[in-house]
Structure 1
Amino acid sequence: MRLNKKALAILTGLTLSAGLGSTAFAASADSFTDVPKDHWAYQALDYLAKEGVIDGMGDSTFQGGRTMTRYEMASIVAKAMQKKDVSFGDKAVLDKLSAEYAGELDTLNKKVDANTKAIKDLNAKTDKFKVWGMTRVQAGDDNGLVKDGHNGDYNNRFYMDLEGSMKINPYATARFTIEKNARTRDSEYSTLKTGDVRWVKHKKADGTYEWSERPIVYDKTISAETRDSEQADANHNGSISNIWVELALGKQHNWYTNIGRKWNGIGMQNLLLGGQIDGIATYHPIEKGHGWWFSAQYFKPSADWSSDQNIEVDDNGKVISVDRYTHRAPVAAAVDFWGPLGKYMDANIAYARVVGHELEHNDGNLGFYTGAKNFISADLKIRPFKDFSVTGSYVKSDAKYDWMKSYAGFAKFDTDWAVRMEYKGTDLNKVKSWGLYAKWVNLGVAADLGHDDEWATREPTFVSGVKGWYFGFKMVPWKNCEWETMWAPHLTENTNGRNDAGERTAYKRHILRSWVDFHF
């Protein structure tokens, strides 16, 4: 651009009048590659570029031989007008320049306003709809997932959790999640299969049925395609699995309320409840509560469970038909309190009560199928020294049905215990950050409303109690990527079988899994 000596002198005077001294050009550098250091305007151009008054051509060149447009000159004047500590005389010159280029300055201001509005509109649209989530690649070995008809959901798979939010107004947001399991080993899908010994019914020639325990012949193949279908895996088949609304209610908009279907947990380790629910929950900081919060919830766990019954076979033992019986989860209400106890300790206390159920029990009361109606839980987390914490969790119910106690075996009947120790931890933004953990559990049969932690201590094995240790390591090999490996060498779990003495049997389960989560 052609910037004549007069214009350059004026602008140099405007920008340097307040700072001409021994240090004005003390640290000169090549702002433009096509301006020699011995050029008479070198220092002035370099200073103006550093002060943001001139930009050159945007490619580190000044191109002083090119004719400057009036809009370019107006842009330089506008930037000079933003300088502070301008002398009275220079301000008079600047006023004349601004009058000379008033039309161009007005056009530039309109363009800036239009661009600013466009940016604000774009930001508003971007803020209105957001999508994030993670993809998991997982492999491992778990003898518990192929035993007694249990499935392999949590072992070898590709998994994606896609989450989204749609802002309705400053105090209301619609949320959704889409989850997809893509299982990689068909051999782990063991529902009914040839050789299973089951109680079956057989239609005799006279039209009556006889019941017997016998091996069956089942020719329906289970594959990844069928196992990942909507009928077989309603919550992880790639359709919308959860949808709810988040509201900020009250005069101060600090009653944070969720309405709809979503994953929900109660307790530091989600021991009282951890799973998909349908209902409403509100969370509120306690005024003058020193960091304590309160929540009230009304919900039905959507993790209903079902069993195959009335298996009919032909004369050769081939399965003709299977009836599936669904056991509905109870409707429950809960209150929860949590917050700090000093600088190095946190606590959580919760109470839940079954307030409705599809079926009535023999005593005429509504309740869980275990007979439990009341649940209490307590969690305590302490940090005895830097980077190390211990969390203990306890749940107890008033389950009372004697016939349920026969399912307990070695396990507790009406109590859950879990202790987790953690050292350090990961930060997705810090490559090479890492952490270690160890967890001990003793989960009873009828203690909680249901939970599904990431290690499948109950689901998908559907056992009636589990006890043992888990050990794990995690680290961040790349930004937004987390690698984790978990090992459970000796878990003791009940089965649905009995020994010759009629006692509930158990088996030793071992798990070794490794996975990488890619967050986006």
Structure 2
Amino acid sequence: MQSLIDRVSIYGFFRAKYDHDDNEPVGSGTNNRHFYMDLQGKMKVSDEWIARFELEARKGYTVNQSWRDGNAGSDDQDGTVQRIWVEGRPGGGVGIALGTKWWGLGFQAVPFGHAADGVQLDYNITDQWNTKAFWLRPRQGDLVTMPNGQETQISGLNVTGQLAQGLETSLTFATNENHSDDQKMDRMGAVELKMQATSDIVLRGAFVLTNADDYNTSQEYRIDYKEVNLKDVGSYSVYGRYFDFERYGDYSHDDEWGSLPADTRGGIIGAKYVLYTNVVWETFYSYQERNRSGELDGMDRKADRNLFRTQIDFHF
């Protein structure tokens, strides 16, 4: 029995979140005031293979929850096991990830950050350089940037490695099917840098370019001072972020619960603090200019958005 227990590990976190956001369509209203749990599991198949799953559950505590339409399935984080995949490195050479999971490309998931069916092969060229080849089919049609995203398939290559001591880069190139120009682009490239400027300061930058006719770049720059340690009560981190996500500037970046929509420019100032062992509090304020392209119906061009978010995570 003990050997069976040793083959399975369960972990994740519970979150209580409060947003003070502008009303729709500029902001998300009260949609992101909720309790949330992310539950993940690893099951050891052999020394070469691990089977994994992820379950999300989100329970809004306000009346207005427009994300739930009454007929929604697992996309609404209702407790269903949404993601199942396997990871392995048979023979110790090429690594494989296969199945349905959340995929993030690059250091900040600006080129792509969503759930998808897919397969990825990776290989360590040297101790400091890794290359990945991937094929993805998004599971969500309402992607941040790519309209009707689940109608397409994405394939590409990523190379990540160390340029110098304390300086890393991530390079991504990908192509996609562009059904009747619904996706607005069929090629995407991204360049990212991450620098350990001092022992306490980390700098990140991402620039993405697609071949859409207009509004075809996305960029994000971030500075972090210190890092939280969940075992160290009182440890903290403060950060600042600047982003400019044009309407068709990336495949579909991670929107981080609606705080980073497409067609938006703005900034975020935030902080994290460890209240108790494995309990971290985070809060931030963001000012944004939305609908910069002027293409979104029902919203003024360059509409102002003000978002305040605070949340507490209990990791287990």
SS in 1 for 2:301: strand
Q: Structure 1 residues 177, 433: closer, same or farther in 2, change over 3 A? A: same
Residue of 461, 476, 498 corresponding to 2:274: 476
- Count of paired positions: 310
User: Is the CA contact (8 Å cut-off) linking 1:263 and 1:277 kept in structure 2?
Assistant: yes
**Correspondence 1:336 to 2:158:** yes
Give the letter aligned to residue 418 of structure 1: E
**Correspondence 1:485 to 2:287:** no
Q: Which runs of 5+ in 1 are unaligned?
A: 1-120, 192-226, 307-324, 362-368, 406-412
Partner residue, 1:516: 312
Partner residue, 1:213: none
User: Is the CA contact (8 Å cut-off) linking 1:285 and 1:292 kept in structure 2?
Assistant: yes
Looking at CA atoms only, which structure, 1 or 2, has the larger radius of gyration? 1
How far does the alpha carbon of each residue in 1:313-350 deviate from its partner, in whole angstroms, 9 at most, with x for none?
A: xxxxxxxxxxxx96634201110011112212111111
Q: TM-score, normalising length from structure 1?
A: 0.56
Q: Structure 1 residues 375, 140: closer, same or farther in 2, change over 3 A? A: same
Task: Quote the Cα distance in structure 2 between the aligned partners of 1:143 and 1:233.
Answer: 27
Partner residue, 1:273: 112
- Superposed displacement of residue 149, structure 1: 9.3
Runs of 4+ in 1 over 3 A off after TM superposition: 148-153, 325-329
Task: Quote the Cα distance in structure 2 between the aligned partners of 1:183 and 1:515.
Answer: 14
Q: Structure 1 residues 235, 279: closer, same or farther in 2, change over 3 A? A: farther
Give the letter aligned to residue 88 of structure 2: L
The CA RMSD measured in Å over matched residues stands at 2.4
Partner residue, 2:196: 383
Partner residue, 1:112: none
Give the letter aligned to residue 235 of structure 2: S
User: Is the CA contact (8 Å cut-off) linking 1:228 and 1:236 kept in structure 2?
Assistant: no
Q: Which runs of 5+ in 2 are unaligned?
A: none
How far does the alpha carbon of each residue in 1:232-264 deviate from its partner, in whole angstroms, 9 at most, with x for none?
A: 662401001101111212x3x232211110001
Task: Quote the Cα distance in structure 2 between the aligned partners of 1:290 and 1:326.
Answer: 39
Q: Structure 1 residues 166, 229: closer, same or farther in 2, change over 3 A? A: farther
Aligned sequence identity (%): 25
- Superposed displacement of residue 370, structure 1: 3.9
- Superposed displacement of residue 425, structure 1: 0.9
Task: Quote the Cα distance in structure 1 between the aligned partners of 2:160 and 2:150.
Answer: 30
SS in 1 for 2:297: strand
Partner residue, 1:215: none
- Superposed displacement of residue 360, structure 1: 3.3
User: Is the CA contact (8 Å cut-off) linking 2:108 and 2:206 kept in structure 1?
Assistant: yes
Aligned counterparts, 1:394-413, within 5 A: 394-400=207-213, 405=214, 413=215
Give the letter aligned to residue 208 of structure 2: V
User: Is the CA contact (8 Å cut-off) linking 2:33 and 2:60 kept in structure 1?
Assistant: yes
Task: Quote the Cα distance in structure 2 between the aligned partners of 1:345 and 1:257.
Answer: 27
**Correspondence 1:138 to 2:20:** no
- Superposed displacement of residue 175, structure 1: 0.7
Q: Structure 1 residues 168, 466: closer, same or farther in 2, change over 3 A? A: same
Partner residue, 2:50: 173
Give the letter aligned to residue 284 of structure 2: M
Partner residue, 2:25: 147
Residue of 497, 501, 519 corresponding to 2:297: 497
User: Is the CA contact (8 Å cut-off) linking 1:182 and 1:228 kept in structure 2?
Assistant: no
Partner residue, 2:180: 360
Q: Structure 1 residues 326, 341: closer, same or farther in 2, change over 3 A? A: closer
More strand by share: 2
More helix by share: 1
Give the letter aligned to residue 438 of structure 1: G
User: Is the CA contact (8 Å cut-off) linking 1:262 and 1:277 kept in structure 2?
Assistant: yes
Partner residue, 1:259: 98
User: Is the CA contact (8 Å cut-off) linking 2:210 and 2:249 kept in structure 1?
Assistant: yes
User: Is the CA contact (8 Å cut-off) linking 1:159 and 1:181 kept in structure 2?
Assistant: yes
User: Is the CA contact (8 Å cut-off) linking 1:391 and 1:421 kept in structure 2?
Assistant: yes
